[in-house]
Structure 1
């Protein structure tokens, strides 16, 4: 019986369910910062400007989601709104000069003073909202003090000049919506703000994810019986964010993987673009670090004062490992016969011409032949003599090289001993010569300067090229590769 009877349908369901969970996670994380939007359902185009686009088609979800975040109406601001409603109802049906009206206006002014001085918005980290209320009171009255502005707005003199039916519009549109955004959020036993989203996540989503991961592990175990349970679980490490109660945004990785595997969304183009950008950025940094380390290592090696001793030790029999010496000897036995026996004989015509020309030029420069240069027979004789002499020399050298190649191709211990002796003498004499002159020190200084210029030009060129050029080259390479596909 198959472990996953629903097959592809189950994969589609899990991919859709995981996508829905990711959207809910993003909504939950952004709910508290965007609670004003969900409460008022208005989109403000510019910050600090009371110009908004009403989105009344959106439902008011705050009564349902506030309990999940532990949000409750703040007692002070709730009482302020309730008292203002009583004042509004009374002034709409009664005259301003009655004692009840004056009492309600004085009461509302006292509540406004309390609102400004005690700042009930501080608990919800919404002090900026109180500042917006104070600014609007100042703008309405033209006074520099928000408390004096509130006293003026609730005075009988102001309301006689500005009737309440018109004045109430300012409060309903400019002030009260800001007061209504305040709230109080409860704290749990750990001292953190109340959070009940984990219950919904655990019951409705993480249980499904755990079942899906279990089925995938069982499927791996069935396909590879030799695989241990621990290794089978570790192969599903990418699904770990689906079960974690924190860092929930990291679920975008397993969700994208499930969307791709189910075929609902083709995320390959996005993956290619992201991976190319990351790889190009890391490649630039990595190449720069590696190249800098190599150049500085070479500079330190070149500046070393022990070059004379190192060069002398190259010719000693114990300066190389046995395997390395055998490899070098094998290469020499392959290449020396090849060069001496096949390559040099094929260069005989060019060598004869070059040597004949050199001999002829040497004869021309001799004082004895200068007066005879005008005679044609002498010129012909010089050319023929030079050619014959060059041919003889070249043939003798070729015979020597062929014989040497034949001897070197043999596995002769005498040849090995002679080669080792010549090599040891060469390196020893080279070390002595460098130690007696300033050539080594000058060479070290010049090579170090060349490497320093390399760091300043090439390595800085890597940074100046930047990631954009690498991405463009990758795009060109990709386009060319796609164009050549059948």
Structure 2
């Protein structure tokens, strides 16, 4: 991909340091910088997708095939796609995004762990256990009413938690309104847990705890945005890329005449995208360009398709505009009386700009005559003489004078003999006359010019001829308007695609 700087710029003769030349021209340096840019893009892509995919990095599980249509519901399959060792490493990236455990939801999970420890130590039916269960019922009601998931944009997970608990504790007697708060109260009830404590805690750990664990707290900085330390990771990449960018711009300014450093910077405009404070995903553009320049990948087909797509998008509009512009210009010329003015003798009095001191019409007329005299007439001479012979012979035989003496002896072949000699002489005279016209003859040129002038005067000064010219101009104007209405139209997408397909076929033939 090349910068839209003016082409055909000559190289300067200024000496450039070999270090600059090595860095600018060496393909391995270009490959190295392309890989650095690609690594930076990978880091940016991970950072941009970390928050949306954090639940997967946290739990390592995705559910496929789950759906709910009216009364029909299917839980789908749970697939573990990230090993625990990888999850534990990746989730450390929370520190870069400023993510901290949300105090209330984390305390809820810690209380469930405390319940398990209390049961193991004191038993299920003990005052300590009853106290912890009361805390869990109270914390469940607060979680549902206050929605601590909202800050992390995880309110959907809270709805999943409520739905799961409703399904688990569905009881028309104990929970006639199918309330999520009542469902949690019934779940953390000693009577419900008695006899199935291990089963219910396992259910909570498997179904509820991962969803609660997805909630987090993220502080807001003084700039009004969430705290984010990604700049500390991105900064070393930007320093390296910026140094390379400045060095290459400097070499360009040295190598080429008339290119200042600011012009060289815009020569490599795509690298400026690296330094945008926002829209980091746009870095895919300079990375793709650098990979293409370093020959690590080839974007030839993509660039060709992109250019053809651009052509397809504007081809119809440009075609229609150009044709309408031409037809409108022709209509304006006719409407302004150009035909009549060009034939008028008064037009010769107006100032006319001659760029080469040559009468182009006269020269064209001579060239046409020369072509006819030297190329056409000699070739068609036999056919023309036969035609003249036939016409002359026919005229003689059909004349009353000849028919009255045709019966006399010796006159039977008279028409044939006289027509052959006459046709040959006529053609020779015509050919010699035309050839004579091709010679430089100012008197002949003057006569031709007078004939043309007189013809124009006759057409413009005569009332009848002038009226006919006006009719011709009006008809031509209307004809062009009909052409615009009936034939000038926006080409369809199929027509444009057919043209592009034909273009691609021609390119393949050339290759």
The answer to whether TM tops 0.5 is: yes
Matches within 5 A, 1:64-75: 64-75=92-103
Q: How far 1:151 sits from its partner (Å)?
A: 2.9
| 1:320-358 CA distance string (max 9 Å, x none) | 532288362464255244135324522333333344556
Q: What SS is found at the alignment partner of 2:79?
A: strand
Unaligned 5+ runs, structure 2: 1-16, 68-74, 172-177
Unaligned 5+ runs, structure 1: none
CA distance in 2, matches of 1:282, 1:334: 48
1:17 to 36, 40, 65: 36
Matches within 5 A, 1:48-447: 49=75, 51-54=77-80, 55-56=82-83, 58-61=86-89, 63-91=91-119, 94-142=122-170, 144-160=178-194, 163-202=196-235, 204-220=236-252, 223-224=255-256, 227-263=259-295, 265=296, 267-268=297-298, 271-301=299-329, 304=332, 307=335, 309-315=337-343, 316-317=347-348, 318=350, 320-323=352-355, 326=358, 328-329=360-361, 331-332=363-364, 334-346=366-378, 347-356=380-389, 390-406=423-439, 414-415=446-447, 417-418=449-450, 421-422=453-454, 424-425=456-457, 428=460, 433=465, 435-436=467-468, 438-447=471-480
Deviates more, 1:91-100 or 1:380-389: 380-389
Instruction: Report the CA distance shift for 1:156/1:354 in structure 2 as closer, same or farther (over 3 A).
Output: farther
Q: How far 1:369 sits from its partner (Å)?
A: 11
Structure 1 equivalent of residue 62 of structure 2:
43
Deviates more, 1:75-84 or 1:63-72: 63-72
Q: What SS is found at the alignment partner of 2:223?
A: coil
CA distance in 1, matches of 2:240, 2:452: 76
Instruction: Confirm or deny: 8 A CA contact 1:277 1:471 kept in the other structure.
Output: no
CA distance in 1, matches of 2:120, 2:386: 122
Instruction: Report the CA distance shift for 1:218/1:368 in structure 2 as closer, same or farther (over 3 A).
Output: same
Instruction: Confirm or deny: 8 A CA contact 2:62 2:78 kept in the other structure.
Output: yes
CA distance in 2, matches of 1:233, 1:305: 48
Structure 2 equivalent of residue 32 of structure 1:
51
Instruction: Report the CA distance shift for 1:414/1:260 in structure 2 as closer, same or farther (over 3 A).
Output: same
Query: Does structure 1 residue 479 correspond to structure 2 residue 508?
Result: yes
Alignment RMSD: 3.9
Instruction: Confirm or deny: 8 A CA contact 1:92 1:164 kept in the other structure.
Output: no
Instruction: Confirm or deny: 8 A CA contact 2:58 2:87 kept in the other structure.
Output: no
Q: How far 1:399 sits from its partner (Å)?
A: 3.3
